[in-house]
Structures are given as structure tokens and as C-alpha cells.
Amino acid sequence: MKKPTIVAVLAVVALAGAAILHQQRSSKAKRTVRWPVMGTIAQVTLRGEGGGENAILSTVRATYDRLNGLLSAWDANSELSRLAAAGCTNWVEAVSDEVKPCYAAALKLADESGHAFNPYMGRKLRALGVGSGTYSDFDLGAIAKGYAVDRAAEELGKGTVPVPPLLLDLGGNLRVVGDAVWRTCIRNPFAARKPDLPPYVALIALTNGESVATSGNYERFIEQNGLRLSHILDGRTGQPTSGVAGVTVVVPSDYGAVLADGLSTTLFVLGPQKGAAFLAAHYPKALALWIPDTPEDPHLLATEDMSKRLEEISIKMSRLQTDP
């Protein structure tokens, strides 16, 4: 496996201009609709004028509801929970066709990452007082939302409803649908505790079919004896991870939001050095950045490709490079 090294401190650029209050910026008219689903918030932002909005939203809603009924580890009646209760081990063969690729991607990531990514963390998460594994030890919470976003994009692409450019967001898993550029902000994980810090560490422009996912320890975490522990466990040890405050991954359309989601969790566990080597070996088209959990010295580490895409970077950035 290629060995990554940090090669250069590239840039410290002050966040320009007025505060950026929203996740996307554009001069074109936009409408955003939000609703709660899959234990998080779904958001659809439509660009430009035109009708058909209700049909688009009902397509997306129906897709998320259907997938929740298949993949939820919270709902005892979901397909996942019922199969888990029945002691399922051959997941990919046992589950409905629509979700086979989600299980396959999760198990492949587990295998490739030496089980740093591990969908069998439900019991550990319950023991720590968190986790989506209310009923099942098998838990796709790290990848199901991204998968649902891909399926929604696919449904919209079937052509039954005219679709303007739009951005799907399901709990921080974003996918661009249609021909428009979306400038999205990468949040500063330390800003919630230190309001004097810039709210965003950088911007990135996403184009048709690209997806971005973020895993962080700043919104969901475990408080134990005054210590803040991550809700992401190291799948190799079952212990809460530490050292990383946030990871953001950008992938092209052939990887999909499912891999952006699965990879962000995997890279959170692996950390920047091993994570960059992992990407070079298995997912070379993915771009990633890590924000180490050092609030006293906020900085980010980006893969070479990611460093080229970032704009308006507001903290110190180092580039991670994998030796040829």
C-alpha cells in the first residue's frame, strides 16, 4: 500500500466577504424544502423556475420512506431488523433487490478497510448509549442515507417528471442532480463551541452527479464522565474513535452518494495518513479532507485532488500525498 506523507502547508486564506449563512450559494432563484426522515433531516433545493415541484418532492419522499422501511435499524419492522432478529448472516442474498447494492457496498468497505468500517457495531453502540441499532446489531447507519440519496436521484432520472437542477441532502449526504454548479460550504467543527471562529473552513463547487458527505463528532457524540466520545467506533476494536473532528469526502457519479457516505465514516476511523493510503489503493477518484480534533490549532489535511478543489479556505491547510 502506498505511504502518504504530509508535504506542504499550502494556504491560509481569510474567508472573504459577508458571512455565508447557507450551505449553497447561487445567484439563481432557489426553493428549499425540508422534512424529517431516517432519523435526520432531508432537504431538497430546486434551482430556477418551473412547475412539477410537488411531483419531484413526492418522488423523493416516497423513495426515502421505502428505503427507511427496508434499511432502518431503529424500526423493528424494517426488513433489516426482521432479518437480524431471524439471525440472518447471508445479507446480500436475503434482502430485497432494491437494497442489495447497499449491503454489498457496506460489506465490501468492511473487507477492504480491515473492518475499520464495520456494520456489526449495533450492540457496542447500544452499550455506549448511542447508535441506530435499537433492535439490530447489524447497522447500516453509516451508509444507508447516501444510498437513499442515490436511489432518489435515480428515480428522478427516470424521466416521468421534468426535473430542474436540484441538490439532494439527507443528513449531510449531498448529491447534485442536473446541470448546475453548487458551491457548498464545509462547516468548521469548532465554530459551535467558539463563535468567534469562521463558520466554514472552505467552499467546494460540485457539479452534475457529484456527491459529498461529511462525518463529524460535533453534532452527535457520547458524553461519558465529562468526556466527549465519538458516535463512530473503530470497527476493529469497538472503541469510540478519537483524534478527528470531521471528514469530508467528494466523489464522482460512478461512485455515488453511497460511497461518499460509507467512505466518510471509514476515513473518520482510519485518520488522515492511513485514510489517504486507503483511498489511493481502493477509491482513487475520491477526494477527502480531515480536520484533526485540535481546537487550539484548527487546521485541515487534504488529499492532493481535494486541495486543488477547495476555495476560500479559512484555516491552515496541509496536503496529503501518497508516494508513487
The residues binding Mg ion (CB under 5 A) are 142, 261, 264-265
Q: Which does 231 bind (CB under 5 to 8 A by kind): Mg ion, ligand AMP, none?
A: ligand AMP
Amino acid at 98: E
Long-range own/partner contacts, residues 25-32 (CB < 8 A, 24 or more apart): 25/183, 25/203, 26/180, 26/181, 26/182, 26/183, 28/180
**Closest CB 11 distance from ligand AMP, rounded Å:** 27
Q: Residue with the closest Cβ to Mg ion?
A: 265
* Closer to Mg ion by Cβ: residue 68 or 265: 265
Q: For binding to ligand AMP (CB under 6 A), which residues are involved?
A: 117-119, 121, 125, 131-132, 139, 141-142, 215, 231-233, 235, 261, 264-265, 268-269
**Closest CB 234 distance from Mg ion, rounded Å:** 15
Q: Which does 187 bind (CB under 5 to 8 A by kind): Mg ion, ligand AMP, none?
A: none
* Closer to Mg ion by Cβ: residue 4 or 246: 246
From residue 145, give the alpha-carbon distance in Å to each of 113, 137, 151, 254, 260: 20, 18, 10, 17, 10
Distance from C-alpha of 256 to C-alpha of 279, rounded to nearest angstrom? 15
Sequence-distant (6+) residues with CB within 8 A of 114 are 236
**Closest CB 163 distance from ligand AMP, rounded Å:** 26
Determine how β-strand 287-292 pairs with β-strand 244-251: antiparallel
Residue 17 corresponds to which cell in the numbers above?
466577504
Distance from C-alpha of 126 to C-alpha of 172, rounded to nearest angstrom? 23
* Closer to ligand AMP by Cβ: residue 79 or 139: 139
* Closer to ligand AMP by Cβ: residue 110 or 201: 110
Percentages helix, strand, coil for the chain, rounded to the nearest 5?
A: 30, 30, 40
DSSP 161-179: S---SEEEEETTEEEEESS
**Closest CB 277 distance from ligand AMP, rounded Å:** 18
Q: Residue with the closest Cβ to ligand AMP?
A: 141
Q: Which does 132 bind (CB under 5 to 8 A by kind): Mg ion, ligand AMP, none?
A: ligand AMP
Sequence-distant (6+) residues with CB within 8 A of 23 are 169, 184, 185
**Closest CB 16 distance from ligand AMP, rounded Å:** 30
Q: Which does 152 bind (CB under 5 to 8 A by kind): Mg ion, ligand AMP, none?
A: none
**Closest CB 238 distance from ligand AMP, rounded Å:** 9
